Amino acid sequence: MSVTALPDPGPVVIHTERLVLRDFVAEDLDDVAHLVGDDQVTVWLSFDSRTHEEAKAMLDGILERQHATPRTEYYLAITPAEGAESVAGFIRLGLGGHQAADLGYALRPQWQGKGYAREATMAIIEFGFDKLGLHRITANIGPANEASQRLVKSLWFTYEGTIRDHVHTNGEWRDSRSYSLLAPEWANAPRCGYCGRRIPAPAAPSRTPKFCSTAHRQAAYRTTRSAN
């Protein structure tokens, strides 16, 4: 694997509205073991569920790679902004090739379905393009993983094709559907007329809305009304 040396932003802490994405620390072991030992989560990943000991080996590797020069991996803990000690999941950019990275993520089941994955993914995409100078981010997803495909499509990724027998997991070969997002596409993605954040891509072809949520459309309407 060849990796272009990219700007090193130092220790990483990214704040979003409801989350903090940060470098893992050794104290995260029990949370990591719960996450990667949960069949409900790993059934969608490229590796099988791990024992506590295997989770420790995995975390040790993550901690060691944090100090690699040049750094080739940003494997971050997703933590709630309130009570930031507990780990809700992970999000990862693995650098490879020329200004390129692979994206990966997982949330513990109790954190799913609340928009946290989307919030974390938007933040790491911005970090990747703005701070690391990436040009391309790829996400390879199991064909049956609808939640993950919905997520990347909502963030303006484009489907590129299927990688056959891409990973061996849960005792069998599995294809991946490959999606990518380029820096200019992200820069040009439409922004909410109220908060300025990227608007999710519509699930079906339609006119892109001007606001990221109904609440923000109503807030913008109220602001315009009170100004007139």
Ligand X SMILES: CC(C)(COP(=O)(O)OP(=O)(O)OC[C@H]1O[C@@H](n2cnc3c(N)ncnc32)[C@H](O)[C@@H]1OP(=O)(O)O)[C@@H](O)C(=O)NCCC(=O)NCCS
Question: Which positions touch ligand X (CB under 6 A)?
Answer: 41, 44-45, 105-107, 112-118, 141, 145, 147-148, 150-151
Whichever of 29 and 122 has its CB closer to ligand X, that residue is 122
Give whichever of 6 and 117 is closer to ligand X, judged by the CB atom. 117
Q: Which residue is nearest to ligand X (CB)?
A: 115
Q: Which two tokens stand for residue 227?
A: 């100004």
Question: Between 42 and 59, whose beta carbon lies closer to ligand X?
Answer: 42
Phi, psi of 127, rounded to the nearest 5 degrees: -60, -45
For the CB of residue 204, give the shortest distance to ligand X in the complex, in Å.
Answer: 13
Residue closer to ligand X by CB (options 6, 102) is 102
Least Å distance, CB 122 to ligand X, is: 10
Q: Are 77 and 123 in contact (CB under 8 A)?
A: no
Least spacing, CB of residue 20 vs ligand X, in Å = 16
We find the least distance from the C-beta atom of residue 112 to ligand X, in angstroms, to be 4
DSSP state of 198: B
Q: How far apart are CA 159 and CA 150, in angstroms?
A: 11
Least Å distance between CB 202 and ligand X?
11
- Judged by DSSP in three states, 212 sits in coil
In this complex, which beta carbon is closest to ligand X, that of residue 113 or of residue 184? 113
3-state secondary structure 1-53: CCECCCCCCCCCEEECCCEEEEECCHHHHHHHHHHHCCHHHHCCCCCCCCCHH
